[in-house]
Amino acid sequence: MPSTRDIRRRIKSVKSTAQITKAMQLVAASKMKKAQDQAIAGRHYSNLINKVLVNLKEKVGDESHNLLEERTGDKEILLLVTTDKGLCGGLNTNLIRKALDSAGANTTFVTVGRKGCQSIGRLKKDLLADFPVADPASFAQCKTVSKFVLDKFLEDPEIGRVRVAFTNFITTLTQTPTIETLLPINPMTLGRVMDFEGVGGGDKPESAQEDFTGYEFEPNASSVFDSVLPQYVNNQFYQMLLESRASEHSARMVAMKSATDNAKQLIKDLTLEYNKLRQASITNELLEITTAMKALE
Amino acid sequence: MPLQLEIVTPEAQVFSDEVDSVVLPGNIGEMGVLPNHAPLVTTLLPGELSFTKGGATTELALGEGLVEITHHHVHIMTDMAVSDAEIDEAAVEAALQRAKDSLAQKSNAEEVASVEAAIAKSLAQLKLKRKRRNL
């Protein structure tokens, strides 16, 4: 049986925990708003560039590019985008589990975010590089990562594909761990999962319905592809990172909100117990006094 | 059938409407686009884009990017698209000066390229702003 003093102490400590989680919830909420706006604003661009590439790939049959060609090598790079900080529910755990499930023996990891780097290190997996990306994500930092991956891919013909594991932001309450193939570029499949309004991805853009046979390129197809494809990769990866960040802050806010709610419930229960105990002790005292009085009569 | 023009940047969808004609800064020079243009894909250089709708011409400063033209659609994907009113001349000039200063210190080819891209973008903005004033 705990004494009233013990319970009082516990109530105090739970209260201060609730204060901290409440503060974290508010911070996450404001960051979440920003990150969500950024992610949603970026979708237009990546949807459109995706549509254009779908179109190009369809209409330009014979002109190809080494970033577009399917490869046979069985090595692969898995780019794992996780958060730097914890306290965001099962976000990282779910993502890392999904990434590890899909990874084969020939998978090399490249990580963005401390949590992913730590768990890959702990599991003694093959870690190629780790990139820190600040919050909010800057395009320049993001570009270093995608450039690194692009260079690796072009250097080593053994690398069959590069995939990205990230958390796709759907709503504040739902985020799904997702794995997408980034290289070789296949606009038909890439972006399918990322799309929400059902306009991008493999769907044909409205311009594809127009009847024509081929595009002209200025100055020529290979130079257009040379400049567009790396841009496309950079942009897609940036968008994935933005989605991850939006997910992170949403998940953290939700986690902190439920922590605050739990703490409040706990305070309520403890206060009830405390009052019961207090009343019991008062009743006891009264009883003792009355018995003492009876005995004296 | 008029031309459907769409301009997007990674930050936002800047413009999406029907227009009569578009002039854009293509890879090998300025290019005018009217409805029923032949399908064409080209890269964009930093410069000015103007489009006409119902006799009124609007001008925007564009950054690097990509344009896809089909018979009735013009899709422009660029890293910058700002109108005359949004350009703060002093701020752009300061940015230009900063970029030029930092260019002297950079040795890495990639950094130089990105600073040069920033300079070209600033110049495109300044050019549009000044042209407006001289009219």
Look up the CATH number of the domain holding residue A187. 3.40.1380.10
Q: Which residues pair with B25 in a beta bridge?
A: B30
pLDDT of A197 reads 39
Instruction: Give chain B's residues under pLDDT 70.
Output: 132-135
pLDDT of A202 reads 40
DSSP string, A223-257: HHHHHHHHHHHHHHHHHHHHHHHHHHHHHHHHHHH
Domain assignment present for A38: no
ipTM of the predicted structure? 0.77
Domain assignment present for A34: no
Handedness of CA A157, A158, A160, A162 (dihedral sign): negative
Whether residues A127 and A60 share a domain: the answer is yes
| Angle at CA of residue A290, ends A289 and A295, nearest 5° | 100
Rounded-to-integer distance, Cα A275 and Cα B105, Å: 71
Whether residues A234 and A155 share a domain: the answer is yes
Contact A218 B77 (CB under 8 A): no
Number of domains chain A contains: 2
Rounded-to-integer distance, Cα B110 and Cα A67, Å: 20
Q: Return per-residue pLDDT of chain A as tens, 297 residues.
A: 678 899 999 999 999 999 999 999 999 999 999 999 888 888 888 888 888 887 777 766 655 777 877 788 888 899 999 999 888 888 999 999 999 998 888 889 999 989 999 999 898 888 888 888 887 788 878 888 888 998 888 888 888 889 999 998 888 888 889 888 888 887 666 655 444 433 334 444 444 455 566 778 877 777 888 888 888 888 888 889 999 999 999 999 999 999 999 999 999 999 999 999 999 999 999 999 999 999 998
Q: Which CATH number does the domain housing residue A8 bear?
A: 1.10.287.80
At B108, list the tokens: 């890495």
Rounded-to-integer distance, Cα A236 and Cα A59, Å: 22
Per-residue HEC secondary structure of A269-287 comes to: HHHHHHHHHHHHHHHHHHH
How does pLDDT run across B84-101, given as a tens digit for each residue? 777 777 888 888 888 888
Question: In chain A, whose CA is at the least distance from the CA of B4?
Answer: A207
Rounded-to-integer distance, Cα A177 and Cα A167, Å: 4
Whether residues A231 and A279 share a domain: the answer is no
Domain assignment present for A32: no
Rounded-to-integer distance, Cα A150 and Cα B43, Å: 21
Contact B41 A218 (CB under 8 A): yes
Domain assignment present for A36: no
Q: Which residues of A are catalytic?
A: 88
Query: Does B109 reach chain A within 8 Å, measured CB to CB?
Result: no
- Decide if A83 contacts A92 (C-beta within 8 A): yes
**Pairing state between β A75-81 and A107-112:** parallel
pLDDT of A201 reads 40
Domain assignment present for A180: yes
Displacement of CA A2 from its chain's centroid (Å)? 43
Q: Which H or E element spans position A159?
A: strand A159-169
Burial class for A166, CB neighbours closer than 10 Å (0-12, 13-18, 19+): buried
At A62, list the tokens: 């014979």
Query: Does B29 reach chain A within 8 Å, measured CB to CB?
Result: no
Name the minimum distance, in Å, from the CA of B128 to any CA of chain A.
24
pLDDT of A206 reads 47
Residue corresponding to tokens 């701020």: B91
Contact A228 B43 (CB under 8 A): yes
Contact A224 B73 (CB under 8 A): no
| Candidates A42, A210, A217; nearest CB to B71 | A210
Domain assignment present for A33: no
Whether residues A120 and A204 share a domain: the answer is yes
pLDDT of A264 reads 95
Which residues have C-beta within 8 Å of that of residue A283, sequence separation ≥ 6?
A: none
Chain A residue numbers touching B9 (CB-CB < 8 A) = 45
